[in-house]
Chains A and B, each alone.
Chain A
Amino acid sequence: MNSLLLIGLLLMPLFSAAFLLLLRRRCLLRRGLLLVASSLQVVLAWMLVLTCSDVGYVVHSLGSWGPFVGIVVVADMTSSLLVLAGATLALVCVAYSFFQTLASTEHPLRGVLIQFLMVGVNLSFFAGDLFNLFVAFEVLLLASYALMSLEADDWDVKQSYPFLALNVLGSSFFLMACGAVYASYGTLNLALLSERMLETTGDGRGAVLAALILTVFAIKAGAFPLYFWLPNSYPTLPAPVLGLFGGLLTKLGVYLLMRFTGTVFPPNLDYHYLVLMWMGGVTMLLGVLGAVSRGGVQSILSYHILSQIGYMILAVGFYTPYAFAACLFFILHNIFVKSCLLLNGGVVIVLNGTDELKKTGGLWKLAPLLGLIFLLQALSLAGIPPLSGFWGKYMIVLEGIRLREFFLAALALAVSVLTLFSMLKIWLGAYWKDAVAGYEPDLKKKGWKGMSLAMGVLVLISLGMGLVAQHFVGFCLRAGEQMLDAAAYRQAVLGGWDRRGL
């Protein structure tokens, strides 16, 4: 039963994508199917979270070949929780896109590609095998390349190339790392790899391979020297897809950094942690400075994704159960808050016809509720108590002080102030100042109320995370400890299977 949940989360989006492909001309039926499939994924993910919270790990060996010769998929508390967050976000973005465009004018492939993207995302969260993870990444990336250029106009389409080029390079490194890992350790299974890496600690190959694999995930996460694919390409996406990308894809990279440093690699890679920590610090500073330099709502927010990624990587670099819990909480907060802000930017585009801050304005008077949504989420992002962003940052800074990394803790606090500054820039430009003559917001535009309603769900979730933080933090603390308990992971995956001389 438990493995059915796991398999269901992989097959449900795959089948729905296949059926959606058949329904190119039946637009209402297509929407209905997409909505049902997205909702079912949320239900399945919710059941999986409850199961993982009870039993710790859900492991399924495909075809019952066992972990030594076959492929396994593994869910633990962290991955199931993130899959739940991803499925919820996908549902909200799908509902939002229904309000944004009429069924007859919507691109028929958007829903299909979103479902393929979810196949890749879910499989990457559950993969228990390095090569399987590579395949999952490619499924996800191909869907994201296609979404990137699907609805772009002739001017915007050239931004897909840097996105494509850096990710293809990253994938080549990844494949090379797979080959090298197999040659060095004779396995691709993560649990077995972790066992063998632990047996050969002090062997130089382990450190080099770890560095190669972590580089790949840092590219996917958008960490400091490797983030150039993100800030120009994301703002060209249509708002619902941008919300999904901004919320999910980079966070997947951070999750994999956590999974590999925490569970797979031996716990003595001090130099790697140091590099990760400083990479996080520089990413958060450069991300927020880049955001301040931009002049459009979506481009400020896209650049700002990087700054938030910096906090998460900083927490991974601290490498303690508490820091991992903080990282998980911060990822969850960011999935909901950042996407909500990006979706909000989409409403600004609908009302004003543009998101350039020079031309927007006057929304606070006309649509105060929309302004309130923005304000709540922006303050949460900056870390004002008692909103959800505060708790994540509080935990990270606290752990930084405990580990005597005073400079990085101070940097994290300073970046919060700059975050507030860049959010204020949007607030003043789009909401507070009077409308610019010739670009008055038009409240008669269709759909924006429904879009705001969809965002309301995200606001409620993030408010809940902030106001009853006790429960969420408790769950995250358990998940963080589980993530660093490599022995339990190995026992869950390998225990009870015949080794047959392997």
Chain B
Amino acid sequence: MLEESIIMVGLLVGCSIYLILQSSFVRILLGFAMLSNAVNMFVLLMSGSPDQRQAPVVIKDGPFVDPLPQALVLTAIVIGFGVLGYMVMLFYRLFKACGTTNSEDLYSKSRETFLIEPEEAEK
């Protein structure tokens, strides 16, 4: 159980880093969403495997699953969601302001070419 999860976290982090390094904003966004999920899963894993252990809900005997990482992950999910929400708005604003969703286009423009209206640039 633990081993599979660790491999899963590794795969997710790898894919997310690949996506973050792309130049399209949509991919970058998906990359960051995936990264935050991968990290949350990593924290959740720190509870240890639930095999042979009880959920700490009512008082019973037995080795319990550690409940703290779940509390941590709840906070982390909320924070990650907030940051992702900000990121979506930022990309939307960049798209509105610059008319592109490609970071390569966006950062290669100089201030002079940027200030020309798009219609004039086409001429």
The listed residue (A145, A154, A179) touching B69 by CB distance below 8 A is: A179
Residue B46 at the chain A interface, CB threshold 8 Å: yes
Residue B116 at the chain A interface, CB threshold 8 Å: no
Residue B86 at the chain A interface, CB threshold 8 Å: yes
Interface SS, B side:
helix
Verify B79–A182 contact, CB threshold 8 A.
no
Verify B39–A175 contact, CB threshold 8 A.
yes
Find the B residue at minimum CB distance from A162.
Answer: B107
- Cβ proximity bits B22-65 to A, threshold 8 Å, 1 near / 0 not: 00000010001001100110110110000000000000000000
Verify B42–A176 contact, CB threshold 8 A.
yes
The listed residue (A141, A142, A161, A172) touching B90 by CB distance below 8 A is: A161
Which residues of A lie under 8 Å from residue B115 when comparing CB positions?
155
Verify A135–B90 contact, CB threshold 8 A.
no
Residues 162 to 180 of chain A near chain B (Cβ within 8 Å): 164-165, 168-169, 171-172, 175-176, 178-180
Residues 155 to 201 of chain A near chain B (Cβ within 8 Å): 155, 157-158, 160-161, 164-165, 168-169, 171-172, 175-176, 178-180, 182-183
Q: Give the Cβ gap from B27 to chain A, nearest Cβ, in Å.
A: 13
Which residues of A lie under 8 Å from residue B114 when comparing CB positions?
155
Separation of A145 and B107 alpha carbons in the complex (Å) = 19
Residues 61 to 104 of chain B near chain A (Cβ within 8 Å): 68-69, 72, 75-76, 79, 82-83, 86-87, 90, 93-94, 97-98, 103
The listed residue (A134, A145, A179) touching B45 by CB distance below 8 A is: A179
Bin chain B's interface residue count.
20 to 34
Residues 377 to 394 of chain A near chain B (Cβ within 8 Å): none
Q: Give the Cβ gap from B72 to chain A, nearest Cβ, in Å.
A: 6
Residue A149 at the chain B interface, CB threshold 8 Å: yes
Verify B83–A168 contact, CB threshold 8 A.
yes
Residue A319 at the chain B interface, CB threshold 8 Å: no
Verify A161–B103 contact, CB threshold 8 A.
yes
Q: Give the Cβ gap from B116 to chain A, nearest Cβ, in Å.
A: 12
Q: Give the Cβ gap from B88 to chain A, nearest Cβ, in Å.
A: 11
- Contacts A172-B35, A178-B43, A182-B68; is A157 near B83 (CB within 8 Å)? no
The listed residue (B43, B90, B97, B103) touching A179 by CB distance below 8 A is: B43
Which residues of B lie under 8 Å from residue A434 when comparing CB positions?
none
The listed residue (B36, B46, B83, B98) touching A183 by CB distance below 8 A is: B46
Separation of A176 and B10 alpha carbons in the complex (Å) = 12
Q: Interface residues, chain B, CB within 8 Å of chain A? A: 20, 28, 32, 35-36, 39-40, 42-43, 45-46, 68-69, 72, 75-76, 79, 82-83, 86-87, 90, 93-94, 97-98, 103, 106-107, 111, 114-115
The 15 sampled A-B contact pairs (Cβ below 8 Å) are A131-B72, A134-B76, A135-B75, A142-B82, A142-B86, A149-B90, A154-B98, A157-B97, A158-B106, A172-B35, A176-B42, A179-B43, A179-B69, A182-B69, A183-B46
Q: Interface residues, chain A, CB within 8 Å of chain B? A: 131, 134-135, 138, 141-142, 145-146, 149, 154-155, 157-158, 160-161, 164-165, 168-169, 171-172, 175-176, 178-180, 182-183
Known: A145-B90, A155-B115, A178-B43. 6 other contacts (CB 8 A): A146-B86, A155-B97, A164-B90, A165-B20, A175-B76, A183-B45
